[in-house]
Chain A
Amino acid sequence: MLFPLVRLEGATVGYPGAPVLANVDLALDGGELIGIFGPNGSGKSTLLKTLARILPPLAGRARFSLPDGRAPSIGYVPQRETLDLVFPLTAAEIVEMGTYGRLPLGRQAGHAERERALACLEKIGAADLRRRLFPALSGGQKQRVLIARALVAEPDLLLLDEPLNGVDASTAEAILVLLERLNREQRTTIVLVTHHLTAVRHVIREAVWIHAGSLLRGPAATMLAPEAVHQRIEEDFLS
Chain B
Amino acid sequence: MSVLMEILSPDFLLRNALYGGLIIGFVAPLVGVYLVGRRMVFLGVALPQVSTAGVAGAFFWHALFHRGGLHEQDFWLALAGATGFTLAAILGLALWESRGRGRAEGWTGVLYAFAGALSLLLVASDRIAEIGILGLLKGEIIAIPTSQLVTLIVGYGVIVIALWLFKKDLLLVSVDRDFALSLGKNVLGWDLVLYLIVGATISLGVLLVGPLVMFGFLIVPPLIAGRLVTGIRRLPFVASLFGGLTAFVGFAVSYKLDWPMGPTDVALVCVLLALVAAAQTAIGRLKRI
Binding site for B on A (CB under 8 A): 15-17, 49, 52-54, 71, 74-76, 78, 82-83, 85-90, 93-94, 97-98, 100-101, 103, 105-109, 131, 133, 149, 153, 159
Whether A54 contacts B182 by the Cβ 8 Å rule is yes
Known: A54-B178, A97-B175. A88 touches B167 (CB 8 A): no
Contacts of A82 in B (CB 8 A): 178
Interface of A is mostly: loop
- Distance in angstroms from B7 CB to nearest chain A CB is 34
- What chain A residues lie within 8 Å of B183 (beta carbons)? 74, 98, 100-101, 153
**For residue A98, which residues in chain B have a CB less than 8 angstroms away from its CB?**
183
* Inter-subunit contact B168/A103 (CB<8 Å): yes
A88 touching B226, Cβ below 8 Å = yes
B178:A76 contact, CB within 8 angstroms: yes
- Docked Cα-Cα span, A74 to B184, in Å, equals 9
- For this complex, 10 residue pairs linking A to B, each with C-beta atoms less than 8 Å apart, are A16-B100, A52-B182, A53-B181, A54-B182, A85-B37, A88-B232, A89-B231, A97-B168, A100-B183, A131-B230
Residues of A within 8 A of B168 (CB): 97, 100, 103, 107-109
Contact: B179 with A97, CB < 8 Å? yes
Q: A15-B100, A54-B182, A76-B179 are in contact. List 17 more A-B contacts (CB 8 A).
A: A16-B99, A53-B182, A83-B175, A86-B36, A86-B226, A87-B37, A89-B231, A89-B232, A90-B230, A97-B176, A97-B179, A100-B185, A101-B184, A107-B168, A108-B167, A131-B230, A153-B183
Cα distance A75–B182 in the bound complex, in angstroms: 7
Collect the chain A residues with CB atoms within 8 Å of residue B226's CB.
Answer: 86, 88
Q: Give the complex CA separation of A176 and B174 in angstroms.
A: 30
Name B residues whose Cβ lies closer than 8 Å to a Cβ of A: 36-39, 99-100, 165-169, 171-172, 174-176, 178-179, 181-185, 226, 229-233, 235
Q: Which residue of chain B lies nearest to A153 when distances are taken between CB atoms in the complex?
A: B183
A84 to chain B, nearest CB (A): 9
Contact partners of A100 in chain B: CB under 8 A: 168-169, 172, 183, 185
Return chain B residues, CB-CB under 8 Å to A71.
Answer: 184
Docked CA distance A17–B99 (Å): 10
Known: A78-B176, A78-B178, A108-B168. A87 touches B232 (CB 8 A): yes
Of the candidates B37, B38, B39, B176, the one having the most CB atoms from chain A within 10 angstroms of its own CB is: B176
- How far is it, in angstroms, between the C-alpha of A46 and the C-alpha of B182 when the chains are bound? 13
Q: Which of B178, B179, B231, B232 lies at the interface centre, i.e. has the most chain A CB atoms within 10 A of its CB?
A: B179
CA distance A15 to B39 in the complex (A): 24
Contacts of B171 in A (CB 8 A): 87, 97
Question: Residue among A17, A75, A97, A105 with the most chain B CB within 10 A?
Answer: A97
Interface pair B230/A88, CB less than 8 Å apart: yes
Hey, which chain A residues are within 8 Å of B36, CB to CB? 86
Considering the complex, give the chain B residue whose CB is closest to the CB of A133: B230
Please judge, given known A-B contacts A103-B168, A108-B167, whether A52 and B232 are in contact too, CB under 8 Å. Answer: no
Contact B181 A52 (CB under 8 A): yes
Complex Cα spacing A149 to B178, Å: 13
C-alpha gap A53/B183 in the complex (Å): 9
Min CB distance A143 to B, Å, is 14
> What B residues does A106 contact at CB under 8 A?
165-166
Report A203 CB to chain B, min CB distance, Å: 23
Query: Judging by beta carbons under 8 Å apart, are A49 and B178 in contact?
Result: yes
- Residues in chain A near residue B229, CB distance under 8 A: 88
Chain B residue nearest in CB terms to A77? B179
The complex places the Cα of A170 from the Cα of B194 at a distance, in Å, of 42
Report the Cα distance A101→B185, complex, angstroms.
7
Tell me, in angstroms, the Cα distance from A88 to B226 when the chains sit together: 7
A93-B231 contact given A82-B178, A100-B183, A108-B167, CB 8 Å threshold: yes
List the 10 closest pairs (A to B, CB-CB), nearest first.
A101-B183, A76-B182, A87-B37, A52-B182, A54-B181, A106-B165, A90-B231, A74-B182, A54-B178, A100-B168
Chain A minimum-CB-distance residue to B184: A101
Interface core residue of A49, A87, A107, A109 (most chain B CB under 10 Å): A87
Q: With A and B bound together, what is the CA distance between A3 and B72 in angstroms?
A: 68
- Shortest Cβ distance from residue B112 to the other chain A in the assembled complex, whole angstroms: 21
CB <8 Å contact, A105 and B181: no
**Best-surrounded residue of A71, A76, A88, A90 (most CB of chain B within 10 A):** A88
Say how far A48's CB is from chain B's closest CB, in angstroms.
10
Shortest CB–CB separation between residue B276 and chain A, in angstroms?
14
With both chains docked as a complex, state the minimum distance between the C-beta of B284 and any C-beta of chain A, in angstroms.
14
